[in-house]
């Protein structure tokens, strides 16, 4: 039968003769407050507060007073050490000595066992080495490469890129104190 309405499933529709908004044309059991599920919302409020950042921080105990405290930010100058004016001397047989003459440096912030990258400022020749001795502003290194392109009196740039120690040794000796 064309145009006939089946008896199942049923529907609740009350047609009207005029185009009028009636209460029967709308869903009546929907409430905007039901979407938050009040029973869980109260529990959530007890646990996390009123859903603001300040309330959450207070509830988890992460508040710190900052108005009465002095917070000092300090960069550690020892993390990326680079010397741009190092003069090479006694470079022979895979060993070299460098005198650091950067302005303001009183002692070298380099320690025994650190690995350094050395580049000649004028030619760009590079070599990698391990620090074997340090005395004030004089650093002695042992080069990893068999052919060393650095010669005596070359002005070089040197920076630390890591450290290397034999298995079973104590490792780094001493400490570097950072300047604020």
Q: What is the pLDDT of residues 142-180, one digit of tens each?
A: 999 988 889 899 999 999 988 898 888 888 877 766 655
Which domain, by its residues, includes 109? 82-163
Asked if residue 93 has pLDDT above 80, the reply is: yes
- Residue 20 has a pLDDT of 76
Specify whether 110 is located in the same domain as 143. Answer: yes
Specify whether 93 is located in the same domain as 155. Answer: yes
Q: Establish if 72 belongs to a structural domain.
A: no
Asked if residue 109 has pLDDT above 70, the reply is: yes
Q: Establish if 175 belongs to a structural domain.
A: no
Rounded alpha-carbon distances, angstroms, from residue 74 to 65, 78, 135, 174, 178: 20, 12, 28, 21, 9
pTM of the complete model: 0.55
Specify whether 154 is located in the same domain as 89. Answer: yes
Q: Establish if 173 belongs to a structural domain.
A: no
Specify whether 53 is located in the same domain as 96. Answer: no
How far is residue 81's CA from residue 135's CA, in Å, rounded to a whole number? 17
How far is residue 55's CA from residue 60's CA, in Å, rounded to a whole number? 9
Q: Establish if 147 belongs to a structural domain.
A: yes
- Residue 65 has a pLDDT of 64
Please, which residues bridge with residue 114 across strands? Answer: 163
Q: Establish if 135 belongs to a structural domain.
A: yes
- Contact predicate 96/116, CB 8 Å: no
- Residue 138 has a pLDDT of 93
Specify whether 133 is located in the same domain as 90. Answer: yes
Nearest in space to 145 (alpha carbons), one of 118, 122, 172, 123: 118
Q: Establish if 17 belongs to a structural domain.
A: no
> What is the rounded average pLDDT of the residues 108-113?
88
Q: How confident is the model at residue 10 (pLDDT cuts 50, 70, 90)?
A: low
Q: What percent of the chain has pLDDT over 90?
A: 27
Specify whether 102 is located in the same domain as 151. Answer: yes
> What is the rounded average pLDDT of the residues 56-77?
64
Specify whether 42 is located in the same domain as 115. Answer: no
Q: Structural domain tally of the chain? A: 2
- We report the CATH number of the domain holding residue 117 as 2.40.10.170
Tokens (6 digits) for 167: 């298995």
Other CB atoms within 10 A of residue 139 CB: 26
Specify whether 49 is located in the same domain as 107. Answer: no
Specify whether 95 is located in the same domain as 136. Answer: yes
């Amino acid at each position: 039968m064309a145009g006939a309405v089946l008896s199942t499933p049923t529907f609740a529709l009350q047609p009207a003769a005029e185009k009028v908004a009636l209460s029967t044309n709308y869903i009546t059991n929907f409430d905007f407050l039901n979407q938050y599920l009040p029973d869980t919302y109260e529990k959530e409020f007890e646990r996390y507060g009123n859903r603001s950042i300040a309330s959450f921080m207070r509830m988890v105990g992460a508040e710190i007073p900052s108005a009465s405290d002095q917070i000092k930010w300090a960069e550690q100058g020892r993390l990326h050490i680079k010397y741009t004016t190092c003069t090479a001397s006694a470079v022979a047989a895979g060993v070299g000595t460098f005198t650091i003459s950067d302005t303001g440096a009183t002692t070298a912030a380099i320690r025994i066992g650190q690995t350094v990258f050395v580049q000649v400022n004028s030619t760009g020749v590079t070599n990698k080495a391990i620090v074997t001795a340090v005395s004030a502003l004089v650093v002695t290194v042992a080069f990893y490469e068999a052919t060393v392109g650095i010669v005596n009196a070359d002005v070089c740039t040197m920076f630390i890129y890591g450290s290397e120690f034999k298995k079973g040794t104590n490792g780094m000796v001493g400490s570097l104190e950072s300047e604020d």
